[in-house]
Structure 1
Amino acid sequence: MKKTFKLEHPKIKVPRVVDSVKHEIKKFLKRERAKALPAGANYWRFDCKFGQSEETAVAITLPTLNSHIDELVDNNILTIYVELTAQPVYAD
């Protein structure tokens, strides 16, 4: 998933738009985790990049994604970029 979210909407307030963005990310993760794993893989790992734009995105851990979104919104930044890539993990 590579997506740029605009948090401005003429009729919907920013906190509700942020909630819908977080929900969309959660739905994507649930859908990806439900996919069949390749042979020998134990689980899915998600590589995550986050920032104001694709050019300024930095790698972060998935559990900190919501706090990073909240941090940008608190700084009145109304455009966010999220990139999530599923990787199978093979345990020894």
Structure 2
Amino acid sequence: MKKTFKLNVENKHPDRQIESIKHEIRKYIKREKNKPRPEGVDFWNFNCKFAKNDEEPKTIEFVDITKNIDEASNEKCETLYMEILSVAGIREPKPELNKDEQEDN
């Protein structure tokens, strides 16, 4: 998903517009997570970029999406750009504990 959202839309309260943007993003993420994973892939990971108005998009963490949208709303920005791309994620095995470390726990 690469999309520019308008925050000020005629006949729509800004708070409702923000909620509709968040809803559209959540819907996209849910749809991507439900897609079948290729063999050897454990989960879908997301690469995210965000920009306010005409700034250069910056890479952000997945968990910071709504925080950045709220910041743009509070700063009364006209538009915001959101880029979310799903990538294959593979879990790394947990390191095993030695017998000495297990006895300490």
Q: Any unmatched runs of 5+ in structure 2?
A: 93-105
**Considering only aligned residues, what root-mean-square deviation do their CA atoms show, in Å?**
1.3
Cα shift at 1:91: 3.1
Deviations 1:27-82 (A, max 9, x none): 00000000000000000000000012575110001111101111111111020000
Equivalence for 2:96 = none
Counterpart CA distance in 2 for 1:81 and 1:35 is 24
Q: Give the drift of 1:7.
A: 1.1
Aligned mates of 1:14, 1:20 — CA distance in 2: 10
Moved over 4 A (4+): none
Larger Rg: 2
Task: Give the SS at the match of 1:9.
Answer: coil
| Alignment correspondent of 2:9 | 9
The letter of the residue matching 2:72 is L
Matched residue, 1:91: 91
TM-score by length of 2: 0.83
Superposed counterparts of 1:46-65, under 5 Å: 46-52=46-52, 56-65=56-65
CA shift for structure 1 position 90: 2.2
Contact 2:53 2:78 (8 Å CA) reproduced: no
- In structure 2, C-alpha distance between the alignment counterparts of 1:91 and 1:77, rounded to whole Å: 38
1:41 aligned partner:
41
Q: TM-score, normalised by structure 1?
A: 0.94
User: What's the secondary structure of 2:11's corresponding residue?
Assistant: coil
How far apart, in 1, do the equivalents of 2:60 and 2:54 lie?
14
Contact 1:4 1:53 in 2 (8 A): no
